[in-house]
Structure 1
């Protein structure tokens, strides 16, 4: 079947002559904590059940419409949206999430042993979210917005690995579900923050809108699998 999107590995970034050479595909094969791999393309959850991934195949996405959304978004960016793009796009997303965990721990007076446990589960889950994000990135090899020759004026530099799905969004979706499990009274605020994190990549001009939407979907699916295990083991830390 003919692809309906450009491949990341075949088209240069704006202002460059050759396709991007940086290849970090090995991340998609790192060990995981809550997901196991059977062969190259089969994955099992913590209960040994085969995972049927909910993320959409990029062949079923209208990429021309997605490109128009990027162009229109960048054309009409507000100062606040630019600030959101820079906040989530500079530094490490894991650092932002760690700060959130410590803030919540102070608010709910959670002690050090439970903070350590919480950090362990969240960051082990985030590891799996990163691995699966990279697996799909290099499986599908979807180009970035700045590989379509539209002279986009982006807020941030475009990362040098494939677009789909957004790793920021995948991590955000995963963290949202797990932190909502531990801090159910904070669920609405956590959803708002993590959706802002995902949306920030569109504001930055480095991702298509669908990269973020499907990244959230993937991350939330991973988060739900982890929460299923936590519930089965009666693991709680929040009062």
Structure 2
């Protein structure tokens, strides 16, 4: 299990080191660390989907001097005394902030399933079908809209679950086993956060349930990961089984709520049949006098998720309220100037521009642009020693903003249906592929701007760096020849605008008070 993840991360690290210099982000492995603060009042924060931290009820724990608890303690000590080398490695791997590990697992699965379904022998395409996940083709195709949605639901479930866990922790105040028995050698750094219920178990169960729904062919793999994680919680000396069982109960409850929302958010209708796709294209042609044509080879008959712009947003009621201004007319001076600009970039490609285009490519077989920003967030959360509750809060709001921005971006893409440079500039070639959806606005730009704004809110000391990286991600698509410059500039503004709705929501959840 761990070898697969480490191999992927090693590959990512090598690619990063080979493709970037100066202060572009790099993957940094991490181990357990001392939290910057415990957030004792975290159980009072406002969840995303639950009414409150108290909404999920669990059983009152046994007293620490009860025979049942003392028996649990002895069982844990016996298990710790007979740990195998593999179990010790697992305890070290999962750390005391395992939400980051589950995020990395999600990124691994996104990269594995981020593959375009191939054409049939007769040239037609069969779409991945959740009712028949084995296919062919296998379900899902983890493209950027799918990826940002999977990350958002997992992160929100983790965050809501840990608010509930923090509520019960400080309501019952049951100390961790290693605090009650000095003979127990805790695997991680000491902290004063109560152990009941286990926050690690909440994260494990919620993550496993969400990822199994999103990647059904990985059900067995995810079960194995969860079992190893739950066992590691006990073998670390941090939780007895009743702590873990209570955490699992919260994880089941919160993931059930999240998956109920997911079942009705409209994503199942995002990939349309050809007739619907053609009608969307015709509406844009009638409205504006232009339409995007897919120039992929071989050509797929339907664009990627034309109705993703109709999916329910997290923090905005009406997607049209954040729809950007119309792109330039095809005979305007602004448009003609952009043709000249793109030709100049193509004719005078520098090593630095090529490096930037390649670094932010995040195409097929990768964890996509949303995944790239999750990796950046993971590094920052370790650097600033965030506790598990703070970690899931950061990931939840960032991924909510990324998903909302993606929905807004796809609304604009298929409303305006704007042609890409390769369609409008004779003989023009890209260095970054040909995406199967309209040009305006740039998904990379919108995703990156939204993510960078949330990270700037959580880590204000890093704001200038985060925004600079977002702008670099945006211009990378222009360097690559995939987008017009106004796709990137307007997309960046769009992502920042959408993210502000999420940030306003975060500012009202009680964590900043």
| TM-score of the aligned structures, taking structure 2 as reference length | 0.40
Partner of 1:140: 416
Partner of 1:127: 403
Instruction: Determine whether 1:7 maps to 2:288.
Output: no
User: Cα deviations across residues 120-170 of structure 1 (Å, max 9, x unaligned)?
Assistant: 111111111111100010000100000014212311111010000001101
Contact 1:66/1:208, CA 8 A, preserved across alignment: yes
What's the CA shift for 1:233? 2.7
User: Cα deviations across residues 33-87 of structure 1 (Å, max 9, x unaligned)?
Assistant: 11123xxx74xxxxxxxx4x47321146722221221111111111121121111
- The whole-number CA distance in structure 1 between the counterparts of 2:483 and 2:424 is 12
Partner of 2:394: 118
Contact 2:449/2:496, CA 8 A, preserved across alignment: yes
Structure 1: gaps spanning 5 or more residues:
43-50
User: Cα deviations across residues 85-113 of structure 1 (Å, max 9, x unaligned)?
Assistant: 11111321122111111111111111122
- The whole-number CA distance in structure 1 between the counterparts of 2:472 and 2:405 is 18
What's the CA shift for 1:19? 9.6
Instruction: Indicate the larger mover: 135-144 or 21-30.
Output: 21-30
Choose 1 or 2 for highest CA Rg.
Answer: 2
1:55 corresponds, among 324, 330, 348, to 324
Distance 1:224 1:72, change over 3 A: same
Partner of 1:222: 498
Query: Which 4+ stretches in 1 moved above 6 angstroms?
Result: 1-5
Distance 1:76 1:156, change over 3 A: same
Partner of 1:36: 317
Q: Secondary structure at the match of 2:360?
A: helix
Distance 1:54 1:23, change over 3 A: closer
Higher relative contact order (CA 8 A, sep 6+): 1
After TM superposition, list the pairs within 5 Å mapping 1:67-106 onto structure 2: 67-90=339-362, 91=366, 92-106=368-382
What's the CA shift for 1:231? 1.7
* Alignment root-mean-square deviation, CA: 2.5
Distance 1:14 1:227, change over 3 A: closer
Contact 2:361/2:432, CA 8 A, preserved across alignment: yes
Q: Secondary structure at the match of 2:307?
A: helix
1:150 corresponds, among 426, 433, 438, to 426
Instruction: Determine whether 1:27 maps to 2:308.
Output: yes
Instruction: Indicate the larger mover: 106-115 or 137-146.
Output: 106-115
Partner of 1:48: none
What's the CA shift for 1:181? 0.4
Number of residue equivalences:
222
| TM-score of the aligned structures, taking structure 1 as reference length | 0.84
Instruction: Determine whether 1:205 maps to 2:205.
Output: no
What's the CA shift for 1:5? 7.1
- The whole-number CA distance in structure 1 between the counterparts of 2:425 and 2:371 is 34
Distance 1:4 1:72, change over 3 A: farther
Q: Secondary structure at the match of 1:68?
A: helix
Contact 2:303/2:437, CA 8 A, preserved across alignment: yes
What's the CA shift for 1:222? 0.7
- The whole-number CA distance in structure 2 between the counterparts of 1:63 and 1:3 is 18
What's the CA shift for 1:3? 7.5
Q: Secondary structure at the match of 1:36?
A: coil
- The whole-number CA distance in structure 2 between the counterparts of 1:171 and 1:81 is 20
Distance 1:20 1:204, change over 3 A: farther
- The whole-number CA distance in structure 1 between the counterparts of 2:288 and 2:316 is 31
- The whole-number CA distance in structure 2 between the counterparts of 1:3 and 1:135 is 15
- The whole-number CA distance in structure 1 between the counterparts of 2:490 and 2:288 is 17
